[in-house]
Amino acid sequence: MAYRYVVQVGDEVLRNKSEEVRKFDSELAALLDDMKETVRKEDGAGLAAPQIGVNIRAVVIDLEEGYFEMINPKILSVKGEQRGEEGCLSVKGKQGVVTRPNKVKAEYRDRTGKKHTVTGTGLFARCMCHEFDHLDGILYIDRAEEVYDISTKNKAGQDEE
C-alpha cells in the first residue's frame, strides 16, 4: 500500500466522467489498497479514484458502517432528504451546505467483480452520493447552497466576528 497525492479543485481530472472498470485484477486491487491508505491518512470519510488522478469508477468509503470498496457503483433508489455540511479532500479548507437524499440504495462490484447491494442512511447515504458524484465530474461545491472557509467558522458553527 502507498499513500497517493489527493488532487485539488482546479485539476481537470476532477471534472471528467470516469471510465467503467472492466478488469478486476491485481492492478485494481493495488489501487484500492492505496486508496484505503490515502483516505485513512487524510482522515476522510471517502475517496474516489479521480481524486488521486485515476479516471475510473471506483470509490472507497470508511465510516462507522464499515469500510466499503465500490466499483462501478449505481444508485438504485433514493428516499427522503437531509441538509448538512460537507467537506472534501479535494477542496481543502472549505465546507458547504448540501441537500442530499437521506436514504440511498446502491449496487456495486467489489474488487473481485462480485455484485453487491447496500442501503445507507444519514451520513452513509450522504457519503455515497458525494463520492459517486466525483465519478461524473461533480464536486459538492457544485451542489452547495453555501460554501465557506472553515477558518471563518468557530466551533459552534457561527461566523466569527
- Is 131 among the catalytic positions? yes
- Give the domain 12-152 fold: Peptide Deformylase (3.90.45)
CB atoms within 10 A of CB 103: 16
Closest of 62, 37, 137, 25 to residue 6, by C-alpha: 37
Bridge partner list, 18: none
User: What is the pLDDT, as a whole number, of residue 151?
Assistant: 85
86, 131, 160, 161: which one is catalytic?
131
What ranges do the domains of the chain cover?
12-152
Predicted TM-score (pTM) of the model is 0.92
107-133 pLDDT per residue, tens: 999 999 999 999 999 999 999 999 999
Q: Give the Cα separation of 64 and 41 in Å (integer).
A: 17
**Torsion sign (Cα): 61, 64, 67, 70:** negative
70-109 pLDDT per residue, tens: 999 999 999 999 999 999 999 999 999 999 999 999 999 9
User: What is the pLDDT, as a whole number, of residue 155?
Assistant: 40
Residue-averaged pLDDT of the chain: 94
Q: Which residue has the cell 472498470?
A: 21
